[in-house]
Chains A and B, each alone.
Chain A
Amino acid sequence: MSDLDKILVQFEGDLQPVHSEQALEELRVRYLGKKGIVTAEFKMLGPLPPAQKPARGAELNMLKERVTARLSERREELQAVKLARPTIDLTMPGRRPQVGRLHPLTQIEERIKRIFRAMGFSVETGPEIETAFYNFTALNTPEWHPARDEADTFYLDDERLLRTETSPVQIRVMQRGKLPVRMISPGRVYRNDKPDPSHFPVFHQVEGLYVDKGVTFADLKGTLLFFYRQLFGPDTQLRFRPHYFPFTEPSAEVDASCYLCGGKGCRLCKHTGWLEMGGSGMVDPNVLEDVDIDSEEYTGFAFGLGIERIALLWYGIDDIRLLYENDLRFLRQFT
């Protein structure tokens, strides 16, 4: 056995017990460092006769390569072991940054607004304290209409009241005198109702209006069908039932096919297959004339829907009051 073979045997012996990267590094230094065993052998090349140098140099290089290769083999082994054996309990809970949530009513409202914005509707707002003129008279509500009663509407004084719908915003926008008008007005409205599972004196509505030349009932149907399909899914069907609203004529109640059963009938739709969504119709000519729009030249459609109603249906909430109680166990469910 040559002296270099002995060094290799000694190295293998030293490598055997090494099981940490630190010990491995120490071993590398001991053999290949500035003062290492192999390095020392290279230093002794100098004094050798020139004839012996190439052979000895080649042997030394082989030794160094061999040592280097064995060191890196062991390093990889050690790293593999380290990766394979976790040092932390992976099942411990992570540290979670606190994230809040938007209220479910806001989430529904934003979905609705996104759909209408995509159809070119502007989003308009207006005061919640309205006058009887904007809330009723300008909307063609007859003087005798029970909606004007104190049993239905909250009054602040003889003229001022809390708006019962967001349609007054539509009057204010039409009064600006710029046509066409293509808008929705989302917002909070008030009715003198006793709180119960399906009523709350405060709730939210979205009302829409489109006034232009040549707008027809067929356009109303097309627009609402597009909207409800975006909201409830592409298979949604609509049904229009005649109704009476002072603001519109002809007027229609809009029913959407139940998104849960697809119209076959289930508990959600009370086995009718239909969900009542809100009122709609062609803007009454009186309303247009009162804001100086020529009702022979321009026609328009209007519609309304309740945000709470959609939230209750969509999330399967059975009591509207939950939306205003703000229990965090409730609110945190709406991701």
Chain B
Amino acid sequence: MAKGVKPRVKVPKSAAAGETITIKTLISHKMESGQRKDSDGNPIPRSIINRFTADFNGQNVIDVTLEPAISTNPYFQFDSIVPESGEFTFTWYDDDGSVYTETKSISVS
């Protein structure tokens, strides 16, 4: 597991039914591209997050495949419809097999 990985997600606490909301996510991760070399000239092995998914009550909102060209601390902003109260699940998949998840609930009035 890479060190210091911390997901952060911004979801509104409440919304009207069927409203489109904007979600912002960020996870601290160094996203080593595999292109860089250390001071001895040896290539530093690739270590990135290769997939990110967001679901609401089991329905998919977005599924992103990441390549090394995504910046350090990968940030995503996207929209979602909220038909009812429920929970967003965000999942990040690391190259080393670790999986990081974060959940946020939203109440719909």
Do A and B truly interact? no
